[in-house]
Structure 1
Amino acid sequence: MLQTKKQARRRRRLRAAGVLTLLTAVVGGGAYLAISQLNSSEVLVRERCSAVVGTDTYELAPEQAANASTIAGVAVTRGLPPRAVSIALATAVQESGLRNLDYGDQAGPDSRGLFQQRPSQGWGTEEQVQDPIYAAGAFYDELVTVPGYQSLPITEAAQLVQRSAYPDAYADHEPEARAFASALTGQSPASLNCVLRKPVASGSAAAVTERFAAVFPALPTAATEEGLVTSASGSEGWAAAQFAVANAKELGITSVSHAGLQWNRADGGWTTAETETGQVLITLAEVAA
């Protein structure tokens, strides 16, 4: 039987509607799949390290936190008080943003490193002031010569060391400096946390051991079946544990355990765990080549 024009048009509309429905389902399904994959993507993880004091939380990028941990570790090794670290961190945040800069500015064209120390002013060679351990040590060498520095306002103590053209600027960074100093000197246990993406390479036991030996030379670190173990307790133990967390991104660390708690990279936080007394246990990533 021949179709009427009206029937033919109706059939074409039905076929078009069916095709549109199919396309919508395909496109919609593809969009859902793409969104699902995007949501689970590591790219969406905003890497950061935070220090918590009371109800306040302060954040640094992993690179900044690692530099802060070195500054704090040098002070712990020297037996300096947390106040010295607060002053040093406020200074480094102001001078370099806690980044190991290889350039200066118009006021100090030869300034370099975390503290923007100038070789022309006797702080050391250009290579030395770009070594975070040396730079922190040089800062503390000057700080401890300041009479009563522990009782001075942070900005005043920092200025007596740095002699900056902007002497009041250090005060702007006092809250975050105090928070990270408290965590990284071990005064505030489990108060430093880093949220990181999955490791892209295996961790190196030699690199971790070398880093600890450079910053905490008095703390022995040894490899065991469980991972790397550093012998430390009390505030020193927490300083070492949170140093490891702060350097987890660069060193490929996946977990840090100490004093009944464990930081786990996959979860991004501290939880209760069985631990050995007086030990910091560090486990490393194993990524297939």
Structure 2
Amino acid sequence: MPEPTPHSPKRRGRFLRAGSAFTVLLAVSGYVTVQYLTGSRLGPGCEVFSDGGAVRYAFSPEQAVNAATIAAVGTGRGMPERAVTIALATAIQESGLRNIEHGDRDSLGLFQQRPSQGWGTERQILDPTYAAAEFYAHLAKVDDYAELPLTVAAQRVQRSGYPEAYAKHEPDATLLAAALTGNAAATLSCTGQPDPTETPSATDAQTPAQDAVRAALARDFGRDVLQPVGAQVSGGAQTSAEPTPSATATAAPDSGERTLRLAVSAKSSPAKGSSDRQRGWQLAQWAVANAAALHIDEVTYAGREWAAGNVDPRWRTVRGAEADGASKATDAVRVVLAQ
């Protein structure tokens, strides 16, 4: 039998298959490139990184919202960054930072807390704010928890069957805690934009979108986050002109219907040693973490800006900020909502 020639059916079949595979590869590469260049990539996602970007932790928008809540509840109780790190590592291990409705026996929620063990009702435990507050309340009773190894402190709260499991999440939790307490500036970013068909329409200064942001702020930080310093909070309980630790920021309409201005107060956080700048970065990075859920397009603070549609999702210097000292002001966080 003669040897197959370069033009034989068998050889032509190989060429056709190779050509088809190459065409498919080009199509996939083109799709990924277009997604990257348009800023949508392959769907929304978030990451937090160390200074210089050498260490990174990637997570979903759902996880970002829950992590931001855990951090806000912790600082709202005056807990230090170490406590927030312990709480985040615990939630990463127990639920993957997802508010799940199942678990071992009757375990539920971010921290897999059990109604039968006195953690609260099912409904309470599935409220991330309540669940985080309960975790911190128990952690605060652990002597010298901030000096203990993370896995030991977490285990004394959780009493898990796998007490060593929390340790492996400490590096990621440390990055998250630094960003979401405001100690690390401009280190948390998210990509991708929410579905515009689900975005509340902006019709006046009190839009549904602005109301949603205010509700989320009050949920995580408490109602006082929306009050001017020294203003009456509720039932005439606070009327003094002196600032209080609980009155932390004011959410007010800015120059446009789509803009909120979160004013950072003189007493910016109940957390001991917190500065105005730290509180401002906590609010700014909280807004980025909640961007997909609350339809936030842009966040600006201290001469830095994050935008949802950018190809590069990292914070960047606002144009002219280096020359204009006023643009570096730390008295307010500017949040722009989607159209």
- Paired residue type of 2:44: E
Deviations 1:81-104 (A, max 9, x none): 000000000100110010000011
Aligned to 1:210: 215
Contact 1:202 1:284 in 2 (8 A): no
Is 1:279–2:322 an aligned residue pair?
Answer: no
2: CA distance, partners of 1:182 / 1:38: 32
Aligned to 1:20: none
Aligned to 1:81: 80
**Structure 2: which 5+ residue stretches go unaligned?**
1-22, 201-208, 226-249, 265-275, 319-326
Aligned to 2:252: 222
1: CA distance, partners of 2:178 / 2:108: 26
2: CA distance, partners of 1:282 / 1:276: 15
Aligned to 1:63: 62
Out of 305, 310, 315, the position equivalent to 1:270 is 315
Deviations 1:86-141 (A, max 9, x none): 00001001100100000112xxx111100000000000000000000000000000
Contact 2:280 2:330 in 1 (8 A): no
- Match of 2:215, SS state, is helix
Runs of 4+ in 1 over 3 A off after TM superposition: 31-39, 41-44, 274-277
Q: CA deviation at 1:212?
A: 0.6
38 and 82 in structure 1: CA distance in 2 versus 1, 3 angstrom threshold: closer
2: CA distance, partners of 1:165 / 1:230: 43
2: CA distance, partners of 1:174 / 1:263: 27
TM-score by length of 2: 0.71
**Structure 1: which 5+ residue stretches go unaligned?**
1-28
Out of 111, 115, 136, the position equivalent to 2:132 is 136
Residue identity (%)? 45
Q: CA deviation at 1:241?
A: 0.5
Q: CA deviation at 1:33?
A: 9.1
Is 1:252–2:295 an aligned residue pair?
Answer: yes
Contact 2:297 2:336 in 1 (8 A): yes
235 and 35 in structure 1: CA distance in 2 versus 1, 3 angstrom threshold: closer
Aligned to 2:121: 125
2: CA distance, partners of 1:35 / 1:64: 29
1: CA distance, partners of 2:134 / 2:34: 45
Q: CA deviation at 1:60?
A: 1.0
Deviations 1:131-162 (A, max 9, x none): 00000000000000000000000000000000
Aligned to 1:49: 46
- Paired residue type of 1:66: V
Larger radius of gyration: 1
Higher helix share: 1
1:97-246 correspondence to structure 2 within 5 Å? 97-105=96-104, 109-197=105-193, 199-200=195-196, 201-203=198-200, 204-217=209-222, 218-219=224-225, 220-226=250-256, 227-232=259-264, 233-246=276-289
Q: CA deviation at 1:202?
A: 2.4
Deviations 1:21-67 (A, max 9, x none): xxxxxxxx9x9899756743477424321111242111111111110
Aligned to 1:22: none
2: CA distance, partners of 1:276 / 1:92: 35
Q: CA deviation at 1:171?
A: 0.3
Q: How many residues align?
A: 255
Root mean square deviation, CA, Å: 2.2
- Paired residue type of 2:99: N
TM-score by length of 1: 0.82
36 and 216 in structure 1: CA distance in 2 versus 1, 3 angstrom threshold: same
